[in-house]
Amino acid sequence: MSWSKLKQQLESFLCPVLNGRVEYRAPGYRYLPDKSGICYITVDKKNVLNMSDKTNSIRWYQTELEIKNDPDIQIPVTNDDIETVRTSTKGPVPEDRLIVMARSRKSSEHAKELLSAQASLSKSNFIVVANKFLTTPVEESLESNDILLNILALVDRRVGKKRIVNMSEKMMLKHPAVQYFYELRRSML
């Protein structure tokens, strides 16, 4: 499918409030036909997400420690997580220490997921991901670990107000780029 047709289909799925504000751009260079697509997603004519550039306005994490120490990322700990830690320690450990250990384990897992998603985004071919988005249900795109699929689903008109409001807890665990588009969509409600 040609880029112009793909862009037209993607923009037809934009929610009415964001129509004209969010634009997809994937410049192609005729001298480099084998180069994977570079994606720019702009909001109000400002380049917000550039897949090939780590220095854009969305924060890109460099290390696992940076993610674990970020105060904006709040990782909820369930009783199951605490029980898993309790069984693995095999000894008397104070309850408050179990919570700290469970949170540390979950934040390590979350950091690894964020870093791998970020790495796949920078290597991703936007056109391939956009075609996948157009052929899969929007629910799958929202639940996916792919940052770009999440973003495309969040600005989709098929995702209603009620679903956006109910997703706030899930969005705390997503990549900052996904959180940015979630907040953008939520501010339009």
Higher pLDDT, 184 or 66: 184
The two three-digit tokens of residue 20, written as one number: 């004209």
User: What's the gap between Cα 74 and its chain centre?
Assistant: 16
124 band by pLDDT with thresholds 50, 70 and 90: low
First vs last C-alpha separation in the chain? 33
> Helices 147-154 & 126-135, crossing angle to 10 degrees?
50
121 band by pLDDT with thresholds 50, 70 and 90: low
Annotate the chain with DSSP letters as a single string.
Answer: --HHHHHHHHHHTB-TTTBTTEEEE----TT-TTSPPP-EEEETTEEEEETT-TTSSS-----HHHHHT-TT------HHHHHHHHHHH-S---HHHHHHHHHHHHHHHHHHHHHHHHHHHHH--HHHHHHHHHHS-HHHHHHSS-HHHHHHHHTBTTS-HHHHHHTHHHHTTS-HHHHHHHHHHHHT-
Instruction: Say how far apart CA 102 and CA 124 lie, in whole Å.
Output: 33
Average pLDDT, the chain: 82
pTM of the model: 0.72
Higher pLDDT, 52 or 89: 89
State residue 120's pLDDT score. 66
Q: 128-166 pLDDT, tens per residue?
A: 888 899 999 999 999 998 888 999 999 999 999 999 999
State residue 31's pLDDT score. 47
